[in-house]
Structure 1
């Protein structure tokens, strides 16, 4: 049982890492991860029903920690797809209103489950037997615990609430990221308007532009070191007519290079030195 659990978690983590999935997950990534997790989760259901837990503490650990970790991601990716499928086509203000409404729904769940949320987050254990051992839960006190998971042999009811808490935390990060992207879009438009009479086109690669932006950020060369990476990237996009996309993900790939993580700056130094040498001839 534990071997298969480890295999599930490893597979999910590997797939997320390979696709570079973080808080900026897109619909395609979410659909892909649903297809990855669904059969793994169903197999876990079959194995759990057939498995005899060696102790009550082992069962509590499974339904309080292990299953919610997997189910929480499953719910998260489902929610991302639903949010994006229902996302309105309209102005940035319309989309902001929609995203804020989704954030408000997370707060509603929090408010409705405040006692249990506090119990779980305080790492309390005195009600674990009631919450996380099968056939001991009173479902009249947990009416929304079985949305994706209705099998009493595979659910205590409250394990679903834990999974919802975990998925909502991921959704909060995701939704705030979407709002940040909208803010950046607005900021870029404003910068482009102010630069309408002055235009240079970036003809290098996108990763080179991102490396340059992070270099300026690291060197604290703008606004006396007070410019944020978000402001710097927005300026580069607006000034040079380039869409940088998820620049943080690209930064991570640069950071993980095995050779010359600052290849663009190395190239610039080499070319400048060559130019200076040629000027001396």
Structure 2
């Protein structure tokens, strides 16, 4: 069993390195890596089914350290795929918000499971039999059981949590690096903009809200596949303005006598400009 696992680990590591070197797209890397890891896990499961563990200690070692290693890799690449696919759809400012949200989510999972996290990282073993022997599996000790693959011969109470925590640690490293890179790019971008191009919004906030809703209603931005809050963030960033509560602004617009006051003002202004140019 030991030699089989070691060879499987070595071969998988070599495959993952080859995938990294042969692809420039992170999404392609993730897709191919997920396929390779899943194939390795299938081999691992088949070996466990065919070769009973010689002792409880061997079974604990497998479900505490070996299986979580492979599943952590799988979770890591699946999460990395979804995260990067999401980032590709947004600009830097929104991407940074997505990364911050993901960091909060990963830290919240650790906090929720902090006792078990400390148990694993401290090298304790007092509860290993209950945690990592298949015969002790039960629904109470595995509250996330239904979100995990049910396989009586290949699951214990806590091996999922070991894998999830390992995957989260890897993700946090990547996310922090990516967030810092975005911060650097944003700083460089801002510092390279000449001061004469830093513009202010000099009309009222409710006028800007009217414009934003009009652009959204007409589908003028991203072919209409964007939300009010995202257009608002763009204008807030462009004009260094805090819209605070644009949804309340829209309520005011709906209930005032002259609902399209700002848009009508714009129409009148452009018509006057046209007349001036034509004269």
TM-score bracket, normalised by the shorter chain, equals 0.5 to 0.7
With normalisation by structure 1, the TM-score equals 0.63
SS at match of 2:134: coil
Q: How many residues align?
A: 194
Q: Which residue of 1 aligns with 2:92?
A: 92
1:242 is matched with none
Between structure 1 and structure 2, the one with the greater Rg is 2
Note the C-alpha offset of 1:42.
1.0
State the Cα distance separating 1:44 from its structure 2 match: 1.0
> Which residue number in structure 1 is paired with residue 113 of structure 2?
113
1:64 matched residue in structure 2:
64
Please report the RMSD computed on the Cα atoms of aligned residues, expressed in angstroms. Answer: 2.4
TM-score of the aligned structures, taking structure 2 as reference length: 0.64
Alpha-carbon spacing, 1:72–1:78, altered in 2? closer, same or farther (3 Å): same
Q: Relative to total residues, which structure has the larger helix share, 1 or 2? A: 2
Match of 2:164 in 1: 164
Show the 5 A alignment for 1:97-246.
97-145=97-145, 147-193=147-193
Query: How far, CA to CA, are the matches of 1:145 and 1:159 in structure 2?
Result: 11
**Displacement, 1:116?**
1.0
**1:145–1:158 contact (8 Å) kept in structure 2:** no
Q: What is the CA-CA distance between 1:150 and the residue it aligns to?
A: 1.5
CA distance in 2, matches of 1:54, 1:32: 35
- Assess, with a 3 A threshold, how the Cα gap between structure 1 residues 164 and 25 changes in structure 2: closer, same or farther: farther
Distance 1:107 1:69 in 2: 20
Q: Which segments of 5 or more consecutive residues in structure 2 lack a partner in the other structure?
A: 195-279
Native 8 Å contact 2:141 2:157 kept in 1: no
State the distance in 2 between where 1:147 and 1:74 align.
Answer: 15
Question: Could you report, residue by residue, the CA deviation over 1:28-77 in whole angstroms, capped at 9, with x for unpaired residues?
Answer: 21111001111111121121122210010000000001111111101100
User: Following TM superposition, by how much is the alpha carbon of 1:146 offset from its aligned partner in structure 2, in angstroms?
Assistant: 5.8
Q: CA shift at 1:141, angstroms?
A: 2.5
SS at match of 1:86: helix
Q: Structure 2 vs 1, CA of residues 114 and 25 (structure 1 numbering), >3 Å: closer, same or farther? A: farther
**Residue in 1 that maps onto 2:3:** 3
Distance in 1 (CA, whole Å) between partners of 2:13 and 2:90 is: 35
